[in-house]
Structure 1
Amino acid sequence: MCGFLGILTAHGNAEEFVSTAQSALPMMRHRGPDDSGTWHDQDTVFGFARLSIIDIEHSHQPLLWGPTDNPERYLLTFNGEIYNYVELREELQAAGLEFKTSGDSETIVAGFHHWGEKVVDHLRGMYAFAIWDSETKELFLARDRFGIKPLYFATTSAGTMFSSEKKCLLAMAELMNLGLDLDRRAIEHYVDLQYVPEPESLHSHIRRLESGCTAVVRPGETVTSRRYFRPQFHTSPVPADKEQALFDSIADALRDSVEKHMRADVTVGSFLSGGIDSTAIAALAKTFNPNLLTFTTGFEREGYSEIDVAAESAEAIGSEHIVKVVSPEEYAEAIPRIMWYLDDPVADPSLVPLYFVAQEARKHVKVVLSGEGADELFGGYTIYKEPLSLAPFEKIPDPLRRGLGKLSTVLPQGMKGKSLLERGSMSMEERYYGNARSFNFHQLQRVLPWAKKEWDHRDVTAPIYAESAHMDPVARMQHLDMFTWLRGDILVKADKITMANSLELRVPFLDKEVFNVAESIPYQLKISHGTTKYALRKAMEQIVPPHVLHRRKLGFPVPMRHWLAGDELFGWAQDTIRESQTEDIFNKAAVEEMLKEHRDGVSDHSRRLWTVLAFMIWHGIFVEKRINPAIEERDYPVNI
């Protein structure tokens, strides 16, 4: 787990940019405090910050590699872990390739030499990497199937810059006197969705290589990408007498994935909340590590803590359990630091407890397992039940359905059945944005007076829906969330917030072999018997403690609604609005009015307020440069 940056120059003058790369590299020291270095030739500059997990004494990067007749042909920088590197190494050695290290990095570049761009089809893991081929003068970029690890890039007149962190590109652009304006379309998408959708960033010209994509760049040219992985849910019905075999295959795939994800030369722990996802991972991990440490976080407020359930789970599986309780004061004080680490804002309040539990875990371990991805793969969100509840509307002719929608607009707010009529009158493409929509267009215009109706969620969702027309309704929602909420929120916070603490997070559910099983589950075995993730729950019956098996999903819940209305965060929020220099973006008076409405109980604006407040803090750091995130330089032991 590491961070890298680089510049592919347009004019073969790489030496002029070595100091630029060296100046930007320390901005991601948190991603790799164990080792760092730069390398350059005539065309390229590469920088690397290493968090040593596998082959600690060797596998330094940037890594030069090549065949016998050209041993320095390729240059690799790589962020992530390849879990099947042992098996791939044996296959490549059988093909005549030689290795100088025992780590997973060398497997990638040797595989690239052997298979070319199709090396990604052989990799089982999380990754973003860059390979410079000095013979063909081509830069090859790649990102894992699900988007677990990030990769930003920007093409300028000087060349193409790329990095694991956007802040490094901003630093290099500033040193090179390159102007980077804010992207208004991306801002509207963020406010609408609570995250910045790929491939956008909030800065014009800085983009992300999308999940499941590779790219090739040549000196003086722009980035050309291609998609190598597109998830498909093939959901044919499963006969009743075959169901148990499916449940067993899920358990076997997940057990194998956890075993592979435990490969490390350092201590591996596990996050543990009160739900089935993290509990399943921790329980399986305990079978491979009898001394497993588990970690959870929560709040003192009743109803907003998973601490007691997680502690009961830890006792049931036999792990040593460590707890971090977060106060409102700690919460507010950490927000600027978290926004700096994020690069672009994500309006998810659970970022903060995740930051503190990661900080606590890093005192004890260097790697943690977590349960991200289970909901998208196995049908875990409650809203996935909606196609079943709205099925009767599908039989109603469209004109009548539209009429019901108009009727819903005149019904009083909060009246029973109003929401059902409203949503039932719309197609899935209209009503389902994914898990994140916080504003409708009327509310959006209240805070963003310049908002354009043609810049809305459909920019993001329409192409994804077009790909899934052949799938069942639940699969279509899963497909959408894999390209939106999963990679825009879930995996951004998982990577950025754990790496802020120099902690590697691994996600065994997001494994290609697990997905190969999950994609074949029919919706009748996802949403069934009044619960979500039914097939996963059946698969985990002998693994997960009974008190968790059918418990509803909470994650790390945050009492944001109460805090913003009370003494805990109301004053902080009001000061944030008033001090923010975002008058050209937000109607600040309208935002402050929303805050008062929320305090007075007129309406629950907590999600909308948090979306705006997160942006204002981010803007104060990266644009106004008024807020000091107070980033601490922390030194951790290299190997624990």
Structure 2
Amino acid sequence: MCGIFGSIGFPPDPGCIDIVAHRGPDGRGWRVFDSPAGPVALGHRRLAIIDMSDNGLQPMADPSGRYQLVFNGEIYNYIELRDELRAQGVAFTTESDSEVLLLAYIHWGESALARLRGMFAFIIWDDLAKRFFAARDRYGIKPLYFVANAQGIGFASEIKQLLELPGIPRALNLARAHDFLANGISDHTAETFFAGILQLRGGESALIDLSAGRVSAPVVRRWHAVALPDIAPISERDAADRFRALLSDSVRLHLRADVPVGSCLSGGLDSSSIVCLMAQMLTASSAGLHTVSACYEDKSVDEKPFMDAVVERTGARAHFIFPRAEDVFQRASDITWHQDEPFGSTSIFAQWCVFEEARKAGIKVMLDGQGADEILAGYHSLFPVYLAELARSFRLRELARVMRDRQSTHGQSLLLQIARLGFSLAPEGLKANVRRTHRGQMQHGWMATEALAALSRQPTALQTAAESLGLAAPKDIAGYCLVMAHASNMPMLLHWEDRNSMAHSIEARVPFLDPPLVDFALALGNQHKLVGADTKRVLRRAMADILPPEVSQRRDKLGFATPEEAWFRGPLRHLVLDGVERTLRLLPGLLDPAGVRRLATDILDGRKPFDFALWRIVSLGLWAERFRVSLR
């Protein structure tokens, strides 16, 4: 895990790599090359994880010196790829996965990308052909941003690096601000909150040919196609066995490191599965299994009993932290600076605290359960979609059984379920009208401004996310899983985790996003994901023999929650109101002042149900202040 930078045409500035020293405190590299279109600079900050020697320093050159690599991430199957390349006559001089990546690209070209099991964002400069190539892993686990103006093009791991380049404005992207405020979503398109600064999406590459002596726009293309898979018929037992084998193999690969490895543990099904598999694989001679968890005195969001069950089952060395309300705003500015963009809730603060504790414990690599909800339909919000599928296929007995299970297990009234089912079954035109009406009501309130009015008539954020990858808006569970994994939920969650972990010089790894596992999961039918009131059925069955039963049989889902409602209505009330005023002051004209103030006081006084939009308004102002962002 590292921080990288590459620029073409701009005056070379090492400050663009030093500003992300937190991403790589173990080494620094900087080189400048000549090209017919001006200087090409490559920079690297190293976080040493595999091959701790200086052999892993970057930029890394091949033996001829023609190709130069800067790379952020890990290639987990580098040992197998190195053996394959050696069998074809390729010689190696180091033990690093970086060299495997570089020589694989030279040997196989861009087709090497499909062979990689890992997380990566990298740049390769071909000094002979004068070609600049960049790529990002298929799910976007590792970030890569770019920007262009009349002076040149820059690529970087974090947006703040690009803001160091001359002539780059700090203007708000209204469309992305609208989607964030209205829907709580970000990273669902190539655009960022900064107008003009883009990101390569997961599974994309960019090529810039400088041989003609001019800087042209990057040719961006998808190297990993995103498409609905064919649903594979498979028995419940075989599906569970296959899933267990694939997840076990992924965890085995994700444990490859020359430094201590631990795991986040929330007490949920996903992270608990990772921890239990790690416990089976780590040997007595290893440093031991460390887990880090966030806990709360507020029992409505506390999962410590489930964490304790996993710790007792595995013998892990557990580290428990208790994030405090009074620390939220003390840390908010620093978290915002590391995140580069506004973030959706105070759960990001809690995650920050987890990685902070991991660093104190000397854990340099942390595994996490991100991704399982997206590939296995783990969100309870998907049940109306599932019910609609049952209704369309006239599986009415199963439909009634699921609704009764939802009522008895989660307290959802049959009337509410029927209403949501009716909406899911409604014609698309009617649903679009209802959504527009809902957004219009928001426009008549706190978002009723000229700046945002036109955006309320645009497609929904989910539709925008799907269309950005050439997909139709999802209508069934398979479609929702595909879009969530590639375009909506997952890119946003990975963004937050990358910045929080790297802020503390820790590499976060996500075994559920191993390509063979993802491909298998996305091709499973609904009967392996949603059964009765259960989500992620195949994972529950696959892990039943090693998970504590109180975890494997959990039907509730908290996510990575904080007692945000109690905090805001209690000790943080005045700071939240101050945050609302900050946003109104720094971004005048974006929101309706009277509407925002009314929304805030109604929520804080309990006249309206709690709404995470309140934090999003505050977060937008914190970001505008920290990055000196203007509305235009």
Task: Tell whether the structures are fold-level matches, with TM greater than 0.5.
Answer: yes
Q: Which residue of 1 aligns with 2:406?
A: none
Per the TM alignment, residue 480 of structure 1 is displaced from its structure 2 partner at its CA by 1.9
Q: Deviations over 1:521-565 (max 9, x none)?
A: 111211113201011111111121111002122232111122222
Partner Cα separation in structure 1 for residue 460 and residue 295 of structure 2: 32
> In the aligned structure 2, how far is the partner of 1:376 from the partner of 1:346?
19
Query: Given residue 28 of structure 1, which amino acid in structure 2 is its aligned partner?
Result: V
| DSSP 3-state at the match of 1:390 | helix
Distance 1:608 1:153, change over 3 A: same
Aligned residue among 132, 152, 157 for 2:125: 132
User: CA separation in 2, counterparts of 1:422 and 1:333?
Assistant: 45
What's the TM-score, normalizing by structure 1?
Answer: 0.86
* C-alpha contact 1:384 1:527 (8 A) present in aligned 2: no
Alpha-carbon offset, residue 177 of structure 1: 3.5
2:98 paired residue number: 105
Letter of the 2:205 partner, please give it.
T
Distance in 1, matches of 2:344 and 2:22, equals 22
Tell me the SS of whatever aligns to 1:277.
helix
Name the SS of the counterpart of 1:37 in structure 2: strand
What is the alpha-carbon distance in structure 1 between the residues aligned to residue 502 and residue 441 of structure 2? Answer: 38
Distance across 2 between alignment mates of 1:546 and 1:385: 24
Q: Which residue of 2 aligns with 1:47?
A: 43
What is the match of residue 28 of structure 1?
A: 20
Tell me the equivalent position of 1:62: 58
Partner of 2:312: 315
Q: Which residue of 2 aligns with 1:264?
A: 257
Alignment of 1:275-290 (within 5 A): 275-290=268-283
Deviates more, 1:594-603 or 1:275-284: 594-603
- Any idea what SS the aligned residue of 2:140 has? coil
Match of 1:329 in 2: 326
Structure 1 pair 100/624, CA: closer, same or farther in 2 (3 Å)? same
Amino acid at match of 2:371: G
Q: Is the 8 A contact 2:7 2:155 kept in 1?
A: yes
- Shift of residue 579, structure 1, vs aligned partner: 3.1
Q: Distance in 2 between matches of 1:565 and 1:600?
A: 7
- Equivalent AA in structure 2 for residue 611 of structure 1: R
Q: State the distance in 2 between where 1:325 and 1:429 align.
A: 47
- After superposition, residues 435-584 of structure 1 pair within 5 angstroms as 440-448=439-447, 449-450=449-450, 451=452, 452=454, 453-457=456-460, 460-461=464-465, 463=467, 467=471, 473-551=476-554, 552-566=556-570, 568-580=571-583, 581-584=586-589
Task: State the one-letter code of the partner of 2:60.
Answer: L
> Using the alignment, how far apart are the partners of 2:428 and 2:273 within structure 1?
32
Q: For 2:253, what is the secondary structure of its paired residue?
A: helix
- Mapped to 1, the partners of 2:421 and 2:559 lie a distance apart of 30
Counterpart secondary structure, 2:193: coil
1:123 aligns with 2:116: yes
Residue aligning to 1:338: 335
**Structure-2 residue corresponding to 1:631:** none
Q: One-letter code of the match for 2:203?
A: G
Structure 2 residue 603 is matched with structure 1 residue 598: yes
Whole-Å separation in 2 of the counterparts to 1:161 and 1:35:
21
Q: CA RMSD in A?
A: 2.5
Counterpart mapping for 1:144-159 below 5 A:
144-159=137-152
* C-alpha deviation, 1:349, in angstroms: 2.4
Shift of 1:589: 2.5
Aligned match for 1:384, one of 379, 382, 385: 382
Contact 1:144 1:211 in 2 (8 A): yes
Q: Of 219, 234, 238, which residue of structure 1 is paired with 2:233? A: 238
Residue 624 of structure 1 and its aligned partner are, at CA, apart by 5.5
User: Contact 2:189–2:465 at 8 Å: present in 1 too?
Assistant: no
CA distance in structure 1 between the partners assigned to 2:313 and 2:197 by the alignment: 47
Residue 177 of structure 1 corresponds to 167
Q: Deviations along 1:114-169, whole A, 9 cap, x unmatched?
A: 11111101110001000011111111111011110100001111211000000010
Q: 1:520 to 1:585 in 2, by over 3 A?
A: same
Residues 189 and 455 of structure 1 are in contact (CA less than 8 Å); yes or no, is this contact kept in structure 2?
no
| Paired position in structure 2 for 1:619 | 624
Cα offset for 1:180? 4.3
- Tell whether 2:192 aligns with 1:206: no
The Cα shift of 1:179 comes to 3.1
In structure 2, the partner of 1:635 is none
The answer to whether the 8 Å contact 1:373/1:486 transfers is: no
Assess if the C-alpha contact under 8 Å between 1:594 and 1:605 holds in 2: no
Task: Give 1:354 shift.
Answer: 0.4
What amino acid is the match of 1:584? Answer: G
Corresponding residue for residue 183 of structure 2: 193
Tell me, which stretches of 5 or more residues in structure 2 are unaligned? 395-412
Task: Give 2:4's aligned residue.
Answer: 4
1:205-230 Cα deviation digits (max 9, x unpaired): 11000011111112311111111223
1:343-422 matches, within 5 Å, as 343-364=340-361, 365-391=363-389, 394=392, 416-417=415-416, 419-420=419-420
Residues 290-333 of structure 1 deviation map (CA, whole Å, 9 limit, x = unaligned): 42011101222221212232122111122111101011001221
Structure 2 distance, partners of 1:495, 1:579, is 27
Instruction: Tell me how far apart the structure 1 counterparts of residues 367 and 21 of structure 2 sit (CA, whole Å).
Output: 22
Which among 199, 212, 229 is matched to residue 224 of structure 2? 229
Contact 2:66 2:128 in 1 (8 A): yes
**Corresponding residue SS for 1:162:** strand
Could you tell me how far 1:391 is from its partner in structure 2?
A: 4.7
Contact 1:34 1:49 survives alignment (8 Å): yes
Q: Match of 2:488, as an amino acid?
A: W
CA contact (8 A) 1:472 1:523 kept: no
SS of 2:477's equivalent in the other structure is helix
Is the 1:39–1:62 contact (alpha carbons within 8 Å) kept by the matching residues of 2? no
Q: Percent identity?
A: 30
- What amino acid maps onto 1:503 in structure 2? I
